[in-house]
Each structure stands twice: as structure tokens, then as C-alpha cells.
Chains A and B, each alone.
Chain A
Amino acid sequence: MNALTLLGLLPLLGALLVSVIPNDQVIRIKQAALATTLLVALSAILMWFNFDAANTSYQFVQVAEWIPSFGINYAVGVDGLSLVLILLSVLLTPIVVLAGWNESEGGRWSAKVFYILILVLETMMIGVFAATDVFLFYVFFEAMLIPVYFLIGGYGSGERAAAAVKFLLYSLFGGLLMLASIIGLFVISSKNGGATFDITKLSEMHNYMSSTTQNLLFLGFFIAFAIKAPVWPLHTWLPDAAASATPGTSVLLLGVLDKVGTFGMIRFCLSLFPDASKTFTPIILVFAVISIVYGAFLAIGARDIKRLIAYTSISHFGFITMGIFAMTTQGHSGATLYMFNHGFSTAALFLVAGWMISRRKSSTIADFGGLQRVTPVMAWSFFIAGMSSLALPGLSSFVSEFLVLVGTFTRYPVAAVIATFGIVLAALYILIPVQKALHGPTTPGNENLADLNLREKIAIGPVLAVIIALGFYPAPLLNVINPASAHVIESQGFSDPLPSEGAGK
């Protein structure tokens, strides 16, 4: 059986295993879930070693007929871009399981349901990145909403049901617009050489479209992805969802699911509609820059720690979107690496914040103070995560943010310059809460907080290790990403602008 299919099926098998364990053996359920996700992570790393980075076509390919009447195939395969995102998903899942060991308590349903949802979601995350058939992608794209919806609504806190519904409706709306575009693509392909959903064949179809058609179809896809990513002004569901979900769910939501949006922009918007992408680039860059600055300002004003992280993410997604639509190899590589790094730094932030909140029983930043003295390990972890979020040199986000800015500057200097202010603002929105919560005298109510226990240390350790390691040595990932980025840029007739050495020449 194909390695990729097997990888996708593993979590599902794990879910089956979990479902037969009796409800009262909660520990067994958790162990089974953790073991499964670890196994998946290891298998994915194995795949990474067997991946031929120099080869820009899809690897580990499997194609099987699914609905021949419509030319729909079960088709999976990975290139550098999707491999990186699959790695991100499967590495974060075991960490989320371990870090949120007790998250399933206080939910509407049993722990068993919680872990089944997580495992089913993992299968869908792998599937959504691996699909090379647009229809299959759409199926995963929509179907993965359901487990997240129940994870937020069933196990979150506060206004969890409302947040879950808001999340679902926004995503469904975007998804339906995309469905209209997919139907459009399907009809165009069936009139030009046979109905197909194969992404490679569909990327030829833009030759048969009028520019109006191409623009409309592009918008259908783009709006869906912009909601998912989210890009201003379609971001309003994210803070609510992130504030209500459990920390683990938030990690998966912001770390992985939102990446489907930026992944889709590269994979579908740019590849399928190159001309429309060029047409809309100026507007999208404006939105991206607004996201960067606006998200940062919201974050500065945030009082709730989970909302703060959500707002910083909006700012970061602005950077990623900008990198994508700069249409340069560097911008693309930076954006792809950014997706990976953002996944890890957000994971670190959310997990530590989650532990802080569960200890202090409050998510208001002002309630914390002087944690450095009481809980040094937790405080340092939060500090490193925060520094990664503001892209401190030496930590992983710096590399990607730098690449995005450089890649954008060569083509759109104004956007890049304004975006640079985002970095300054980032320093504010991270350093202010760090100073309030971690440093200074220990405020009342924080004196007796417990530091991280062994399980929590084991969970956060690898995340921080990845953040630091990739900050110094991003090559292992960039080696995989660069050829894929160059391929996207070249294959659709975008070219890198030559660096104008010595502008006066």
C-alpha cells in the first residue's frame, strides 16, 4: 500500500482502537491516542528522509478511480510544500495530545470522544495536504470542519457553542464559494479534453478561460482560503474560536488548519489561475499589509491572553499571504517556512498560555505577574515562545520573516516597508505581556502557582528545541521547500525580478 495513504489511515486505525477501549479506562485511551500519534509522527519523519528534494514532481503518488462519472480520483502525493505541512501537522498532534493530557475533562462528552475527534482530524489534516485531486481536497477541506466544530463546542470554555458555530458558518460559506469555483473548473475541463480534477491537468485550464471567468473562479477559491487563513477583513471568527477552544485545539486550529488557507493559495490560486493571481495581487497585498498592522494593533490592545495569540496570528498570516503573492522564489520559500515556524511558535505560546490559565484560573493578562520567580520553567518557555513570535534573530521565525520581507521587497518595496513596521509592533505586543506577566514583583494570587510538571516539560521541550534549531539551521526544511517554491514560480510563468545591484547603475 502507498506510504502516504497508509500514513493517512494510521490515525483512523488509532481512532478505531480508541473506540473499543471501555469508557472508564481513560488512561488507556490517552495512551493509545498518544502512541498512535507518535507512530504517525515517526512514519512521517521516515517519509521525509525518503523524499527526493531535487525532484519537483509529486512523490509517494497513488491514484485510484473514485467517482469515474465525474473524473474524480482518489489521488494523493506530496511535493516539498505539502510535505512540510504534513510534517507540521503530525509533529504537533502528539505534542497536543501530551500537553493537553487533561483537556478532555470538563467537556460535554467523554475523553474517548475527544481523542477520536483528534485522531479523525489528524487523518483529515494529512489528507487535505496530500490530495492532488481538487475534489478530494475539497472533501477533506469541508469534512475536517466537523471534528473541529465538536472539539470547540464540546470541550472548549466560555461561549464555546457560539464560537464553534461562528467558526463553522464562516468556513462553510467560504467552502461553498470554493465549491462553485470547483464546479466551474469541472465544467471547463469537461469541455476541454475530458472532465478531470487532477491538479496538474487543471493547471492547464486557464488557457481556456476568459479573463472574467478566471477572475471569478479565482475569487471563489481565494475567499475560501482568506477566511481560513484568515486575512483581514475575514478574520473575525478566529479570536472567538481561539479564545473558546482548549489550548490543544487552538494549536491545531491556528497551527495547522489555518495553514490550509495559505497552502491553498499557493497550490490552487496561483497554480490554477496565474493571470487572475497577477490581477488581484495589488489588492491582496493591501489586505495582507492591513492584516499585519491591524492584527498587531489588536494584539497590543488585547487583555485576554488567548485572544492576544489569535491576533498575533492574524498579523503573521498577513506576512505569509504577502510572501505568497509577492510571486518570488524567496517570498514563497519564506512563506512556506513561515507556515511551519508559525505552527511551532503558536503551539508553544498556546500550550504555555493554557497551562498558565489553568493554574491561575484566569485568562486575563493583568491577573498574572512575576511568574519568573514562582514558575521559572513555565516563564522561560513562554518567553522563548514569545521571542520566536516576534521573530528574534536566532529563533526560527526570524529566518522566514526575513525571507518574506526580502522576497517582497524585490518586487513590492512599499508593501515590504510598511510590513516592516509589523516587526516593531510585534516587539510591543509580545514584550508588554511578557513584562506584565513574567517580570516584576509577584502579584497576589500568583504566589503559589506550580511550575511545569514532567509531562508538560516533555511536551514543550521538543517544540522549543525545534524553534531554536531551525533558527540556527533552517537548511533541512529549506532544502525541501526551495525547489518546490522555484517550481511554482517558474511553472506558471512568474519570474524572479533580478536584484538591482547598485540601484544607480
Chain B
Amino acid sequence: MVFTTPVLNYAQLSPILIVLAGAVIGVLIEAFAPRNARHNSQMFISLLSLVSAFAATVSIRKQAGVDAAMNSVAFDGAAFLIQATILIIAVLAVFLIADQENFTALAAAIPGSQEERESLQKDLRVTEVYPLTLFAVAGMLLFPIATDLITLFVALEVLSLPLYLMAGLSRRRRLMSQEAALKYFLLGAFSSAFFLFGIAYLYGYSGTITLSGIQQSIVGGSGNDVFLLLGIAFLSVGLLFKVGAVPFHAWSPDVYQGAPTAITGFMAAATKVAAFGAILRIFYVAFANAEWQWRPALVIVAIITMLFGSVVAITQRDVKRMLAYSSIAHAGFLLAGVIALNKSGLDASIFYLFAYGIATLGAFAIVTLIRDAAGEVTDLNRWSGLGKRSPLTASVFALFLLTFAGIPLTSGFIGKFSIFSAAYQSGSTAILITGVLSSAIAAFFYIRVIVLMFFKDPVEDGTSVVLPSALTAIAIAIAAVVTIVLGIFPAPLLSFIESTAFFIR
């Protein structure tokens, strides 16, 4: 057996490497720095590494190649756009994480124990959340650019494991938070198993684990189609689980509700971008020629996801659960971009991911501001009259709701328009009609929240809007501005995506 030295294109891997380096430094800080110096230095390292990773990915944006790491990783226009989106979202998420009011003082302490009380008294900080975030980001950066199934799996685990932990770090209602983490972990592990199973079948079908190899086998048509179908099906289960598509969505409302809100925002936005980045690459590159095998099934999943998310969201009384179901519906809309399977579908998906990710983060940032003595107030009834208490907060939240609903002059509308027209272009009338219908249903619950905030009188129960920390305020402001600007002047970003996005094969 001959071992070849791996040839790595360090430039194209640099964003991932920088973030990983930041994560490792973060771990070292946890181990060696004195407790009171950790928070600021962790935050500094996190932001520094994310920003430099962003700079790195921008500097290599014109490069393209499949040989970044021995044919396991590709870098191309789509990769650059997805990575840049993830990094922007991650920076904003770190702004939210910096407000430690959200997090438990000591994750290891048993809820209700003496140890927990002491940790709270000492005002400890869970600074380990920063390196965890960075590890997750590194996995997210790798996920959409991996071109062989093993690397893909590794990336999936690297991004998921820190998230499982982070979901359990809530400061209040810790049992619920830990339950959410456990649920997320168990179901996540389950879906990972499916994913692996799918890899095995695909290997059995094609004798290779690279996406382009699978594509060639499909074109050659010599393999056993049953293996191909099973492979695609199981792989899709793993991927659809991550984006919360029906019927693999069961974890998301509980996890969204239980996790610390800053983490929920990060998870909802960044995970979705990374997972859809990977889905797009897998389906566009590896399975494009087998579209007759997977497309009908994916159309059905998309339709059910859109309708289910919108309908069930109506009954929610908790703002985080409502946003969870809304994000399920949005996963359905995004699947329309995968189904489109054309260049405009790719462009539209990337635009949608960017617009949706930023707005989602902004919406969860607002949720962190509505509090009472016991922490965040997520019961929607207690949000009534928010417009009177704090017109600005309520208006900005209304803006995010309107963009989720896809009202013109917000980024969500442009996203919806482009993704539905791409789907219709590829001949999927059913997607277009269900998309429009479920948008109408979804509008109902978004508007209900607006009614609640503006047309109901406040309940005097101690609910109040806290002043955001400077970083949270910046994150919200950026999200709001992006939402409006992309709604009114989307042309520069759209044409940039149009000229940049492509998948190298």
C-alpha cells in the first residue's frame, strides 16, 4: 500500500482553519486564563477569528477548485456565498451571546442544587459557549463545501455536537433546556445514523463516496437503482432533519423553546444556511441526473412542510414555538429552491438564506429583550400592548414578522418571489400554489402577533422591555437595516449572487 502525502490548498481551507484555531485558543483560555478575564478575551477571540475568516473567504472568492483537500472539499462561488452568510450570521450571533443574562452560570450544576445557587451568587459566566460556537461554525463552514460523503458526515457531527450542548445552557427553566438538549441529541444521533446508512447504500451503488463519482454512476446507469433510491432517501432523512422539514421536524419546537434564545437564533439561522448549502450541493451536483427518482418525493415533503408549519404555527401561544413553526414553514419554502434544480433556484436559495437568516437572528434578538423578574417572557399573551410600552421594539419586531410573511418592501418578499418563480420555472406548479397558500395562512399568525402588540392594551404583570446591550442593539439594527434595504434595493445583491453562485463539479 502506498501512502501519498495529502496535498492541501490552505488558502481555500483558511476560513475553516481560522475559525478552528479560534476555537482551540478559546479552549486554552478556558483552561488557563483566570475566571474574570475569560469573558472579554473569549469574546474578542471569537469576533476576531470570525471576522478574519470572513476576510479570508472574501479574499479567495474568485478561486474555484475541487482539490482543496484531496477531492474531499471544493471551493466555488456558491461555497463563498454560503460561507460568507454563515460568518455574518455568526458574528451577529456572538453579539447576542455576549449578553450573558441568557445563560446559566454553571452548566454542570444540577438544577435546583446548592451548587447552582452558589454559582449564581458568584455570578459565574459560561464562557465555554464561545469556543463551542466557533466549533459549530467551523462545522457549518465545512458542511456546504464537502464533496465526499465522509467529510460531509464529519462536518455534520462537528456542527451538531456543540449545538446539542449549547441548547442546554439556558439560565432559567433549566430542566426544560436540558430536556431540549437531550431530545435534540437523541434525535440528532438517530438522524446521523440514517445519514450514515444512506452513505453506505450510495457507496454500494456507485463504489465511490465522492459527489461527482456518484453523479457519474447515475449518468452511467450501471448500478443497482434500489441502492441509489435507498441511499438518497436515507441521506435525505439526515439532511431534512437538520433543516426541520416535516416529518423530521419534531425536535425543533421543543429545542427552539428550551435553548437560550441567543442560541436558538444562531441555530435557526446558521444551521439552516449550512444545511441548505449542503443539500443544494448534494442534490445539484450528485443527484441532479436522478431527478426523477427524488423530485416527486421532495415536492411532497416541501408541500407538507410548508402547510404543516404554517397551520400549526397558528395555534402556538409561545413566541419561540411560533417562530419554530414559522421556521419549519420557511424550510419548506427553501426546499422549493432545491426542487427548482436550476441556476435561478440556486441564486434564489442563497438570497433567501441570507435574508431569512439575518431576519431570524433579529427576531430572536428582540425576544431576548422582553423580560420580567423571572427572565424572558415568551408567552404571547403577555406581549400584548408591547407597542405602547416600547413602540420601537414592537415596530422592529413587526418588521421581522412582515418579512417572514413576505410583504413587499421587505427582503422576505424578494426572497419568496425569486424562489417561487425559480420553482415554477422548473415546472412545479404545485409548489407555487401551495407556497402561495401557505404564505396566506402564515400571514394570519404573523399578523395576529402584530395585532397583539399594537391593538391590545398592556397587561400589568411586570413584563417589560429591557434596554438592549450595545452589541444586541447593533445586531438588531443591522438585521433591521438589511431587511429593509434588501426589500427596496435588492438588485446589487441579486446580481452579485447571480454572477457569483455556481457549483463546481
> Which of A96-104, A139-147, A231-239 contacts the other chain?
A139-147
Q: Please give me the residue from chain A that is nearest to B426 by CB atom.
A: A187
- Asked whether any CB of chain B lies closer than 8 Å to the CB of A67, the reply is yes
Q: Is the interface of A mostly helix, strand, loop or mixed?
A: helix
Does A161 contact B409, Cβ atoms closer than 8 Å? no
- CA A173 to CA B409, docked complex, whole Å: 17
Q: Knowing that A69-B494, A164-B455, A187-B425 are A-B contacts, what are 5 other residue pairs whose CB atoms are under 8 Å apart, sorted by A's residue number? A: A142-B408, A154-B454, A169-B443, A172-B447, A179-B420
Q: Please give me the residue from chain B that is nearest to A177 by CB atom.
A: B436
Does A153 contact B432, Cβ atoms closer than 8 Å? no
Asked, given contacts A69-B495, A70-B421, whether A154 binds B436 with beta carbons under 8 Å apart, the answer is: no
Does B454 contact A142, Cβ atoms closer than 8 Å? no
Which has the most chain B C-beta neighbours within 10 Å: A139, A165, A176, A180? Answer: A176
- Asked whether any CB of chain A lies closer than 8 Å to the CB of B444, the reply is yes
Does A66 contact B455, Cβ atoms closer than 8 Å? no
- Asked whether any CB of chain B lies closer than 8 Å to the CB of A184, the reply is yes
Q: When each residue 154-192 of chain B gets 1 if its CB lies under 8 Å from chain A and 0 otherwise, what string results? A: 000000000000000000000000000000000000000
- Asked whether any CB of chain B lies closer than 8 Å to the CB of A340, the reply is no
Does B455 contact A176, Cβ atoms closer than 8 Å? no
Q: Which of B409, B424, B432 contacts A139 (CB 8 A)?
A: B409
- CA A65 to CA B408, docked complex, whole Å: 18
Q: Which of A68, A70, A165 contacts B451 (CB 8 A)?
A: A165
- CA A138 to CA B413, docked complex, whole Å: 11
Does A108 contact B443, Cβ atoms closer than 8 Å? no
Asked, given contacts A70-B421, A180-B436, whether A65 binds B451 with beta carbons under 8 Å apart, the answer is: no
Does B424 contact A187, Cβ atoms closer than 8 Å? yes
CB-defined contacts of A108 to chain B, threshold 8 Å: 387-388, 454-455
- CA A164 to CA B450, docked complex, whole Å: 11
CB-defined contacts of B436 to chain A, threshold 8 Å: 176-177, 179-180
Does A68 contact B495, Cβ atoms closer than 8 Å? yes
Q: Give the Cβ gap from B221 to chain A, nearest Cβ, in Å.
A: 30
Does A67 contact B432, Cβ atoms closer than 8 Å? no
- CA A180 to CA B413, docked complex, whole Å: 13
- CA A146 to CA B408, docked complex, whole Å: 10
Q: Please give me the residue from chain A that is nearest to B452 by CB atom.
A: A161
- Asked whether any CB of chain A lies closer than 8 Å to the CB of B456, the reply is yes
11 CB < 8 A contacts A-B:
A70-B418, A108-B455, A138-B408, A142-B408, A153-B455, A154-B454, A165-B447, A168-B447, A176-B437, A179-B417, A183-B420
- Asked whether any CB of chain B lies closer than 8 Å to the CB of A268, the reply is no
Q: Which of B347, B409, B433 contacts A180 (CB 8 A)?
A: B433
Asked, given contacts A70-B418, A108-B455, A183-B420, whether A172 binds B495 with beta carbons under 8 Å apart, the answer is: no
Does A69 contact B433, Cβ atoms closer than 8 Å? no
Q: Which size class do B's interface residues fall under? A: 35 or more
Residues of chain B in range 477-496 having any CB-CB distance to chain A below 8 Å = 490-491, 494-495
Asked, given contacts A68-B495, A69-B495, whether A176 binds B421 with beta carbons under 8 Å apart, the answer is: no
Q: Please give me the residue from chain A that is nearest to B425 by CB atom.
A: A187
Q: Is the interface of B mostly helix, strand, loop or mixed?
A: helix
- CA A153 to CA B447, docked complex, whole Å: 12
Does B408 contact A183, Cβ atoms closer than 8 Å? no
Does A161 contact B451, Cβ atoms closer than 8 Å? yes
CB-defined contacts of B443 to chain A, threshold 8 Å: 169, 172-173, 176
CB-defined contacts of A183 to chain B, threshold 8 Å: 417, 420-421, 424, 432
CB-defined contacts of B409 to chain A, threshold 8 Å: 139, 143
- Asked whether any CB of chain B lies closer than 8 Å to the CB of A150, the reply is yes
- Asked whether any CB of chain A lies closer than 8 Å to the CB of B439, the reply is yes
CB-defined contacts of A70 to chain B, threshold 8 Å: 417-418, 421, 494
Which has the most chain B C-beta neighbours within 10 Å: A67, A139, A142? Answer: A67
Residues of chain A in range 255-274 having any CB-CB distance to chain B below 8 Å = none
- Asked whether any CB of chain A lies closer than 8 Å to the CB of B51, the reply is no
What 10 A-B pairs have minimum CB-CB distances, sorted nearest first?
A161-B455, A139-B408, A69-B494, A180-B436, A142-B408, A183-B421, A176-B436, A173-B440, A67-B491, A176-B440
- Asked whether any CB of chain B lies closer than 8 Å to the CB of A190, the reply is yes
- CA A143 to CA B347, docked complex, whole Å: 25
User: Which A residues have a C-beta under 8 Å from some C-beta of B?
Assistant: 65-70, 108, 138-139, 142-143, 146, 150, 153-154, 160-161, 164-165, 168-169, 172-173, 176-177, 179-180, 183-184, 186-187, 190
- Asked whether any CB of chain A lies closer than 8 Å to the CB of B474, the reply is no
- Asked whether any CB of chain A lies closer than 8 Å to the CB of B407, the reply is yes
Does A161 contact B456, Cβ atoms closer than 8 Å? yes
- CA A108 to CA B436, docked complex, whole Å: 33
- Asked whether any CB of chain A lies closer than 8 Å to the CB of B254, the reply is no
Q: Which of A143, A153, A172, A190 contacts B440 (CB 8 A)?
A: A172
Residues of chain B in range 397-438 having any CB-CB distance to chain A below 8 Å = 402, 405, 407-409, 413-414, 417-418, 420-421, 424-425, 432-433, 436-437
Number of inter-chain CB pairs below 8 Å? 85
Asked, given contacts A154-B454, A176-B440, A180-B436, whether A186 binds B408 with beta carbons under 8 Å apart, the answer is: no
CB-defined contacts of A139 to chain B, threshold 8 Å: 408-409, 413
CB-defined contacts of A138 to chain B, threshold 8 Å: 408
CB-defined contacts of B444 to chain A, threshold 8 Å: 169
- Asked whether any CB of chain A lies closer than 8 Å to the CB of B498, the reply is yes
Asked, given contacts A69-B495, A138-B408, A154-B454, whether A169 binds B424 with beta carbons under 8 Å apart, the answer is: no
Does A153 contact B417, Cβ atoms closer than 8 Å? no
Does B494 contact A150, Cβ atoms closer than 8 Å? no
Which has the most chain B C-beta neighbours within 10 Å: A70, A146, A161, A186? Answer: A70
- CA A134 to CA B451, docked complex, whole Å: 30
Residues of chain B in range 449-505 having any CB-CB distance to chain A below 8 Å = 451, 454-456, 490-491, 494-495, 498
Which has the most chain A C-beta neighbours within 10 Å: B387, B433, B436, B444? Answer: B436
- CA A142 to CA B432, docked complex, whole Å: 19
Does A190 contact B498, Cβ atoms closer than 8 Å? no
- CA A153 to CA B407, docked complex, whole Å: 18
Asked, given contacts A154-B455, A179-B436, whether A68 binds B491 with beta carbons under 8 Å apart, the answer is: yes
Q: Give the Cβ gap from B385 to chain A, nearest Cβ, in Å.
A: 10
CB-defined contacts of A165 to chain B, threshold 8 Å: 447-448, 451
Does B439 contact A176, Cβ atoms closer than 8 Å? yes
- CA A176 to CA B490, docked complex, whole Å: 20
Q: Which of B387, B407, B414, B421 contacts A186 (CB 8 A)?
A: B421
- CA A173 to CA B440, docked complex, whole Å: 5
Does B417 contact A169, Cβ atoms closer than 8 Å? no
Q: Please give me the residue from chain B that is nearest to A220 by CB atom.
A: B436
Q: Give the Cβ gap from A492 to chain B, nearest Cβ, in Å.
A: 25
Q: Give the Cβ gap from A246 to chain B, nearest Cβ, in Å.
A: 15
CB-defined contacts of B421 to chain A, threshold 8 Å: 70, 183, 186-187
- CA A186 to CA B433, docked complex, whole Å: 15
Q: Give the Cβ gap from B460 to chain A, nearest Cβ, in Å.
A: 17
Does A184 contact B424, Cβ atoms closer than 8 Å? yes
Does A142 contact B407, Cβ atoms closer than 8 Å? yes
Does B455 contact A160, Cβ atoms closer than 8 Å? yes
Q: Give the Cβ gap from B98 to chain A, nearest Cβ, in Å.
A: 33
Does A65 contact B491, Cβ atoms closer than 8 Å? yes
CB-defined contacts of A150 to chain B, threshold 8 Å: 454
Q: When each residue 60-98 of chain B gets 1 if its CB lies under 8 Å from chain A and 0 otherwise, what string results? A: 000000000000000000000000000000000000000
CB-defined contacts of A169 to chain B, threshold 8 Å: 440, 443-444, 447
Q: Which of B425, B432, B455 contacts A190 (CB 8 A)?
A: B425
Q: Give the Cβ gap from B10 to chain A, nearest Cβ, in Å.
A: 34
Q: Please give me the residue from chain A that is nearest to B443 by CB atom.
A: A172
CB-defined contacts of A177 to chain B, threshold 8 Å: 436
Q: Give the Cβ gap from B303 to chain A, nearest Cβ, in Å.
A: 14
Asked, given contacts A172-B443, A186-B421, whether A143 binds B408 with beta carbons under 8 Å apart, the answer is: yes
Q: Please give me the residue from chain B that is nearest to A140 by CB atom.
A: B408
- CA A179 to CA B417, docked complex, whole Å: 8
- CA A455 to CA B421, docked complex, whole Å: 52
CB-defined contacts of A184 to chain B, threshold 8 Å: 424, 432
Does A66 contact B491, Cβ atoms closer than 8 Å? yes
- CA A307 to CA B140, docked complex, whole Å: 58
Asked, given contacts A65-B491, A153-B451, whether A146 binds B407 with beta carbons under 8 Å apart, the answer is: yes
- CA A456 to CA B433, docked complex, whole Å: 49
Which has the most chain A C-beta neighbours within 10 Å: B407, B414, B448? Answer: B407
